[in-house]
Amino acid sequence: MTAGPETAPLPLPPVSGAWREGDPPGRRRWVTLGRPLPLEAGGVLPGIRLAYETWGRLAPDASNAVLVLHALTGDSHAAGPAGPGHPTPGWWDGLIGPGRPLDTDRWFVVVPNVLGGCQGSTGPASPRPDGRPWGGAFPHLTQRDMVAAEALLADELGIERWALVTGGSMGGMRALEWAVSYPERVGALLLLATTAAASAEQIAMAAVQLHAIRADPGWRGGDYHGAAPGQGPHAGLGTARRLAHITYRSEPELQARFGRRAQDGEDPLRSGRYQVESYLDHHAAKLVRRFDAGSYVVLSEAMNGHDAGRGRGGTAAALRRVTARTLVAGVDSDRLYPLAQQAELAAGIPTADRLRVIESPSGHDGFLTETAQVGGLVRELLGG
């Protein structure tokens, strides 16, 4: 008997969910940076290409440019529907567009895919100069390396100074690095659910995820990109996503949504599943089809290495370098990046207003889901 559409198994996932040459470009544009990028940990990265998307029109004097920086598994597609080249809708769609807080009738919004990412920018799935995928040979990156690449992108676009730089989580790390490394190029700064330096617990959570990926036989030391569909480190990446997603949400929300309820038609006492397990399985299955395990490792290690005070005389001295008008906000239910970390930022940045608190049951993901509250902060900074 032939299975109907509702029961047909999904095709095997690609060895990597990275965007590849020949895939639909979607709204992406690219810029190839004209010189090798020196890396903070040593060495250089040659042949860098960054994918990015824009909304709105750049003013003749380039004074209306806004830089939006995505989190760990985000990409350049911050607004707009899913479609060819974009497996998911824009992750901040409620904030970007005509009449929205980042009003594209007024502002020119730029969203790059981070260096080391997998949706069009140079990363482990990309070809190195000899044509082979970088794979496990891809160099170690830091947030400062990523920001240095983004500064070269701004140069290519003719943008000397951003009216606003903003991001949450890993995007907030890079936004802070922008304001510390290039204070003269940042007019306003909005930091969301982020920190001046990764904590021991944050490093520990990421370390378990990295171990899950590297322990997968499909990892092959990071050199899996030439394997057949279904042969990548999908189990490890899926486990990493399950653990990460627990930290992104709050315990009260998970309890309210799922409690101890069983998945429909299953009895947990007879080797069935609970609804919360199915929820985590769903998010794991989605990620392995749109992301690259190598990028997950590179970007997670860069988050673990985040420390704005490194080589700058400590955190307090680094934060004093910020000259942009700044708002810092955290989510009241965030257990991964707790409010105390945002309070440190707000107290240490001379130009920061008081700490703002986003009220949400959604935990760390509140910076993505609470678009009305985040939009209010954007409007406050941009005067609209």
- Active-site amino acid positions: 169, 334, 364
- Is the CB of residue 70 less than 8 Å from the CB of residue 111? yes
Lookup result for tokens 């040459």: 21
Q: Measure the CA–CA gap between 92 and 371, rounded to whole angstroms.
A: 8
Please, what is the angle between helix 200-215 and helix 234-248, to 10°? 160
Lookup result for tokens 């095709």: 11
Tokens of 211: 């171990």
Q: Where are the beta strands (DSSP E) in the chain?
A: 29-32, 37-38, 44-45, 49-55, 65-69, 108-112, 164-168, 188-192, 325-331, 356-358
Lookup result for tokens 């709105």: 56
161: left (phi over 0), alpha (psi -120 to 50) or beta: beta
Please classify residue 49 by burial: count the beta carbons closer than 10 Å to its beta carbon, then call 0-12 exposed, 13-18 middle and 19+ buried.
Answer: middle
- Is the CB of residue 181 less than 8 Å from the CB of residue 380? no
Q: Where are the beta strands (DSSP E) in 88-184?
A: 108-112, 164-168
* CA distances in angstroms from 59 to 1, 157, 178, listed in the order given: 62, 12, 22
- Is the CB of residue 148 less than 8 Å from the CB of residue 180? no
Residues present in the chain in total: 384
